[in-house]
C-alpha cells in the first residue's frame, strides 16, 4: 500500500472509529497548508475542535509507509504541530499510532502512553464540515467589488471571462457528456478552440490525434473520479505517469476538472495563490501547480462563493 492508501483505508477509519473524532471535523488528506518561511508544506490530517465558533487544530497526523522509521517522522509532525498551534500530534504507519504532547521547541515534545484526551463534546459539533470552517472575510472584499466594476468597464476582461464560461460549457456538453461517441477531430477542435487562449495549443491538439485512445481514456478517468481526487490530479501533473497528457499543464488540468464537475471544481491560474492572499482568503502563500495547492485553493474559492 502507498501512503495515500494507508491514510484513507487505515488511518482515517481509525480516527473515526478508534479515536472517535467527528468525521466533519477531520480535514481531507493533504489539504492543510503549513507555512515555513517562503515554503508551504501540507499536513496529512488535522483534527479540529470548535471554540467560540472558530476552528482550532487539536491533533496533527502524519502518515508514513510501513517500511519507514516512525522515529524519523516525529520532528516533521512536531514542526507542523508547532506551526499550526496544535497541542497534540501523531505519527503512524496505519498499524502503530504514536501520540505526542507538543512541546514549545523542537525536540521537547512528550510521547503519550495512550490516545490524547478529547475535548468536551460541545467543542466537537457535528453540524459543519471542516471545509466550512475555513476562516474567510464576513463581507465581500473591496478588491472583489473592484473586479466586478472592471468587468463592466474593461471589454477585454469581460470578453475573457465570457470565453472561460463558454469554454467550460463546451467541454462539459460536447466532450464529457459525449465521451463514448466523440471523434479525434472533435477533441482536436475542443483543444484548438476552447483551451488556453494565450498559449500555442497545436502540440496538445496533435497529441490528441496521435494518442486519441489514450487521451480519451484519461478523460473517462477524470469523469469517473470517486472519493478524494488528490491521487488522480497528482498523476496528471506527473510527466512520468501514464495519466499525464503531453503538453498539458496546471491550467489545462484544472480546466478539465472544472468542465467535468462544474459544481465542484474551478479553473485556477498559476498565480491564484497570490490572488487569494491579496483577497485575504488565506494567510498562507500558496504556490500553485501542485494537486494539494489546487485543491486547497479550490476549497477556499468554493467556500467564499458559498458564504457571499
Residue 8 has pLDDT above 90, yes or no: yes
Residue 223 has pLDDT above 60, yes or no: yes
Whether the Cβ atoms of residue 66 and residue 7 lie closer than 8 Å to each other = no
Compute the half-sphere exposure of residue 289: CA atoms within 13 Å on the CB side of its CA.
7
Q: Does one domain contain both 99 and 120?
A: yes
Q: Does one domain contain both 210 and 108?
A: no
Write down the pLDDT at residue 102: 96
Q: Does one domain contain both 150 and 120?
A: no
What's the Cα-to-Cα distance from 139 to each of 128, 136, 156, 279, rounded to whole Å?
20, 9, 27, 11
Write down the pLDDT at residue 26: 93
Length of the chain: 308
Q: Does one domain contain both 117 and 212?
A: no
Mean pLDDT of 80-103: 96
233 is a domain residue: yes
Per the structure, the complete domain to which residue 57 belongs is given by 3-132
Q: Does one domain contain both 168 and 51?
A: no
Indicate the number of domains in the chain: 2
Whether the Cβ atoms of residue 25 and residue 48 lie closer than 8 Å to each other = yes
- Between 3 and 308, the higher pLDDT residue: 3
Residue 204 has pLDDT above 90, yes or no: no
Q: Which of 97, 132, 167 is the last residue of a domain?
A: 132
137 is a domain residue: no
Q: Residue 68 maps to which CATH number? A: 3.90.1570.30
Q: Which of 132, 151, 182 is the last residue of a domain?
A: 132
Q: Does one domain contain both 121 and 197?
A: no
Task: Output the average pLDDT for the chain.
Answer: 84
- Between 116 and 272, the higher pLDDT residue: 116
105 is a domain residue: yes
- Between 61 and 124, the higher pLDDT residue: 61
Write down the pLDDT at residue 299: 83
Q: Which of 132, 152, 177 is the last residue of a domain?
A: 132
Q: What is the 3-state secondary structure (H, E, C) of the chain?
A: CCHHHHHHHHHHHHHHHHCCCCHHHECCCCCEEEEECCEEEEECEEEEEEECCEEEEEEEEEECCCCCCHHHHHHHHHHHHHHHCCCEEEEECCCCEEEEECCCCCCCCEECCCCCCCCCHHHCCCCCCCHHHCCCCCCCCHHHHHHHHHHHHCHHHHHHHHHHHHHHHHHHHHHHHHCCCCCHHHHHHHHHHHCCCCCCCHHHHHHHHHCHHHHHHHHHHHHCCCCCCHHHHHHHHCCCCCCCCCCCCHHHHHHHHHHHCCCCCCCCCCCHHHHHHHCCCCCCCCCCCCHHHHHHHHHHHHHHHHHC
> What confidence category does residue 18 fall into, taking pLDDT thresholds of 50, 70 and 90?
confident
Write down the pLDDT at residue 199: 63
Q: Does one domain contain both 89 and 202?
A: no
Q: Does one domain contain both 294 and 201?
A: yes
Q: Does one domain contain both 167 and 201?
A: yes
For 25-50, the pLDDT digits (tens) are 999 899 898 988 778 889 999 999 98
For 67-89, the pLDDT digits (tens) are 889 999 999 999 999 999 999 99
Within 8 A by CB and 6+ apart from 248, the residues are 204, 236
pTM: 0.74
Write down the pLDDT at residue 298: 84
Residue 154 has pLDDT above 70, yes or no: no
Residue 294 has pLDDT above 60, yes or no: yes
Write down the pLDDT at residue 72: 92
Residue % of the chain over a pLDDT of 70 = 80
Q: Does one domain contain both 198 and 148?
A: yes
Q: Does one domain contain both 161 and 270?
A: yes
Amino acid at each position: 500500500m502507498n501512503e495515500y492508501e494507508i491514510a484513507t483505508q487505515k488511518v482515517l477509519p481509525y480516527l473515526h472509529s478508534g479515536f472517535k473524532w467527528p468525521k466533519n471535523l477531520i480535514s481531507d488528506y493533504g489539504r492543510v497548508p503549513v507555512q515555513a518561511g517562503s515554503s508551504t508544506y501540507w499536513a496529512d490530517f488535522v483534527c479540529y475542535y470548535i471554540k467560540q465558533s472558530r476552528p482550532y487544530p487539536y491533533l496533527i497526523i502524519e502518515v508514513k509507509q510501513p517500511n519507514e522509521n516512525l522515529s524519523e517522522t516525529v520532528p516533521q509532525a512536531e514542526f507542523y504541530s508547532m506551526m499550526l498551534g496544535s497541542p497534540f500530534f501523531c505519527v503512524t504507519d496505519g498499524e502503530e499510532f504514536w501520540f505526542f504532547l507538543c512541546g514549545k521547541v523542537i525536540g521537547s515534545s512528550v510521547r503519550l502512553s495512550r490516545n490524547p484526551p478529547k475535548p468536551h463534546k460541545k467543542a466537537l459539533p457535528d453540524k459543519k464540515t471542516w471545509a466550512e470552517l475555513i476562516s474567510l472575510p464576513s463581507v465581500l472584499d473591496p478588491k472583489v467589488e473592484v473586479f466586478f466594476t472592471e468587468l463592466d468597464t474593461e471589454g477585454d476582461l469581460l470578453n475573457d471571462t465570457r470565453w472561460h464560461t463558454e469554454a467550460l460549457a463546451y467541454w462539459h456538453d460536447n466532450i464529457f457528456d459525449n465521451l463514448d461517441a466523440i471523434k479525434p477531430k472533435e477533441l482536436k477542435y475542443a483543444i484548438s478552440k476552447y483551451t488556453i487562449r494565450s498559449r500555442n495549443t497545436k502540440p496538445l491538439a496533435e497529441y490528441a490525434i496521435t494518442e486519441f485512445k489514450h487521451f480519451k481514456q484519461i478523460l473517462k478517468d477524470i469523469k469517473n473520479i470517486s472519493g478524494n481526487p488528490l491521487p488522480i490530479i497528482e498523476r496528471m501533473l506527473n510527466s512520468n505517469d501514464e495519466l499525464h497528457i503531453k503538453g498539458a499543464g496546471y491550467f489545462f488540468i484544472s480546466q478539465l476538472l472544472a468542465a467535468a464537475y462544474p459544481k465542484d471544481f474551478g479553473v485556477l491560474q498559476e498565480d491564484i495563490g497570490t490572488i487569494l492572499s491579496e483577497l485575504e482568503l488565506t494567510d498562507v502563500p500558496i504556490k500553485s501547480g501542485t494537486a494539494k495547492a489546487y485543491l486547497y485553493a479550490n476549497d477556499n474559492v468554493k467556500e467564499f462563493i458559498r458564504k457571499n
